């Protein structure tokens, strides 16, 4: 090899060697991206809508992934009418809900079109926590993992979101709220949120038992998405330096609804229920006095009294049936004093009482008096220590009517006995 070629070869080798040596510290300085660094996590809360089932609001977990270029909203509030035995499951209190991950922009746009407020709270999670949450939600989304047994208060779309977040932050939400009184009850929130619909309000007041009247904690109050949004602001988590910091990193209002907000406290409607019950009861007493004189009085008593007893009896059958289901919120229901199955036969006997023109059988009178006495016992039951069910409105509506029918039947039965003895 010529001297020139030797010098050129040595120069090339020296250059390559220097480059190789220089490249070692360069590679060491470029650390691999931390797992989860490409993610951001937010709690999304949607305000109440106009429909009854929208009055409690909704929420979801929003995960943005800059590496994948995706924004997904993980939503636990989905059910399917086509699921096997849907009606039977609904009756039994064993409804299955499931979770899905949707395109977040499309989903949030749908809530805005529905004129429902939308708030976004970015959570200050570590990259590892963000990745763990993403992985859990994607696992939970699989068909074999997505279903869960829905409970209106204890296991719903909001409590599932709460628990998924709590899972990756070491249970900080539960630790800071499980023993903190909320100063409310499940019934408190139910009544105020459905107050715009009197029929639904009355139906829920009738169907919900004493379990929804116990005081709840802040953790339990998070069954409401808007309560969760409020309470999560006070949650703190340990930072990398050991100093605790707020879980909520930032907040943003995406849209504000133009509809009126829900009431902050339940309405006090018992005077109106008492007025309605008192007026119907007074009408029945008045008509009962004229059964042997007026065809109109007989028709009016038969229609009003018979319809009431039919509704009260069917409600009693329903409430009794709920005791044997998994609808835990309907158990231990004192409204059975006011709406019980004994009224079912009275739905037939009361019109017959009117048709007999002032004559009443002992059976009709005895049954009507029994129903009235059971209703009065519901009031006396309030004196038992530990009884706390809030059902004053149902008592105010039902008891005057029961007593009016009982008094009318008793009077007519006594008149029948006197007429029989005079013969």
Please state the rounded mean pLDDT for residues 174-188: 97
Q: What is the pLDDT of residues 61-105, one digit of tens each?
A: 999 999 999 999 999 999 888 878 888 888 899 999 999 999 999
Residue 421 reports pLDDT greater than 70: no
User: Domain 39-182+217-255 falls in which CATH fold?
Assistant: endopeptidase fold (from Nostoc punctiforme) (3.90.1720)
* Confidence band of 306 (pLDDT split at 50, 70, 90): very high
Q: What is the pLDDT of residues 240-282, one digit of tens each?
A: 888 999 999 999 999 999 998 888 999 999 999 999 999 999 9
Tell me the DSSP string of 257-272.
-SSPPPPSS----HHH
pLDDT at 361: 77
pLDDT at 388: 83
pLDDT at 261: 83
Picking from 227, 250, 118, the residue whose alpha carbon sits closest to that of residue 173 is: 227
Strands of the 70-78 sheet, one edge to the other:
147-149, 96-103, 70-78, 58-65, 39-46, 118-123, 248-255
Picking from 313, 304, 280, 316, the residue whose alpha carbon sits closest to that of residue 206 is: 316
The pLDDT > 70 percentage for the chain reads 90
Q: Which residue has the tokens 């005081």?
A: 215
Q: What is the pLDDT of residues 307-334, one digit of tens each?
A: 999 999 999 999 999 999 999 999 999 9
Residue 417 reports pLDDT greater than 60: yes
Residue 15 reports pLDDT greater than 80: no
Give bridge partners of residue 155 from the DSSP assignment.
151
Residue 5 reports pLDDT greater than 90: no
Residue 149 reports pLDDT greater than 70: yes
Q: Say how far apart CA 389 and CA 144 lie, in whole Å.
A: 40
Residue 215 reports pLDDT greater than 60: yes
The pLDDT > 90 percentage for the chain reads 76
Q: Say how far apart CA 129 and CA 165 lie, in whole Å.
A: 9
Give bridge partners of residue 45 from the DSSP assignment.
59, 119
Picking from 78, 73, 80, the residue whose alpha carbon sits closest to that of residue 137 is: 73
Q: Are 219 and 173 in contact (CB under 8 A)?
A: yes
């Amino acid at each position: 090899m010529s001297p020139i070629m030797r010098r050129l070869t040595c120069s090339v080798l020296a250059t390559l060697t220097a480059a190789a040596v220089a490249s070692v510290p360069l590679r060491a300085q470029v650390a691999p991206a931390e797992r989860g660094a490409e993610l951001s996590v937010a709690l999304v809360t949607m305000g109440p809508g106009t429909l009854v089932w929208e009055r409690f609001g909704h929420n979801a977990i929003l995960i943005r992934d800059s590496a994948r270029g995706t924004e997904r909203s993980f939503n636990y509030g989905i059910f399917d009418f086509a699921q096997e035995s849907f009606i039977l499951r609904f009756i039994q209190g064993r409804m299955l809900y499931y979770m899905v991950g949707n395109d977040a922009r499309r989903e949030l746009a749908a809530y805005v079109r529905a004129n429902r407020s939308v708030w976004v709270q970015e959570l200050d999670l570590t990259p590892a926590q963000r990745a763990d949450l993403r992985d859990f939600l994607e696992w939970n989304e699989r068909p074999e993992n997505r279903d869960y047994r829905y409970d209106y208060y204890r296991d719903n779309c909001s409590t599932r979101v709460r628990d998924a977040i709590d899972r990756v932050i070491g249970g900080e939400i539960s630790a800071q709220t499980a023993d903190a009184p909320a100063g409310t009850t499940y019934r408190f929130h139910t009544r105020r949120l459905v107050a715009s619909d009197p029929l639904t309000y009355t139906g829920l007041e009738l169907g919900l038992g004493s379990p929804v009247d116990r005081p709840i904690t802040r953790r339990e109050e998070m069954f409401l998405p808007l309560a969760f949004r409020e309470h999560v602001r006070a949650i703190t988590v340990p930072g990398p330096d050991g100093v605790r910091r707020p879980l909520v990193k930032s907040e943003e209002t995406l849209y504000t609804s133009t509809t009126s907000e829900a009431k902050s406290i339940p309405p006090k409607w018992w005077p109106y229920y008492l007025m309605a019950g008192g007026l119907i009861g007074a009408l029945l007493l008045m008509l009962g006095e004229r059964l042997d004189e007026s065809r109109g009085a007989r028709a009016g008593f038969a229609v009003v009294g018979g319809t009431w007893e039919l509704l009260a009896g069917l409600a009693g059958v329903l409430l009794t049936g709920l005791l044997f289901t998994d609808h835990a919120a309907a158990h231990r229901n004192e409204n059975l004093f006011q709406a019980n199955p004994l009224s079912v036969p009275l739905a037939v006997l009361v019109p017959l009482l009117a048709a007999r023109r002032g004559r009443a059988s002992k059976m009709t009178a005895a049954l009507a008096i029994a129903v009235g006495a059971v209703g009065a016992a519901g009031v006396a039951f309030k004196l038992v220590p530990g009884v706390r069910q809030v059902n004053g409105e149902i008592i105010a509506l039902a008891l005057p009517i029961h007593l009016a029918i009982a008094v009318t039947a008793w009077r007519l039965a006594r008149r029948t006995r006197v007429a029989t003895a005079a013969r």
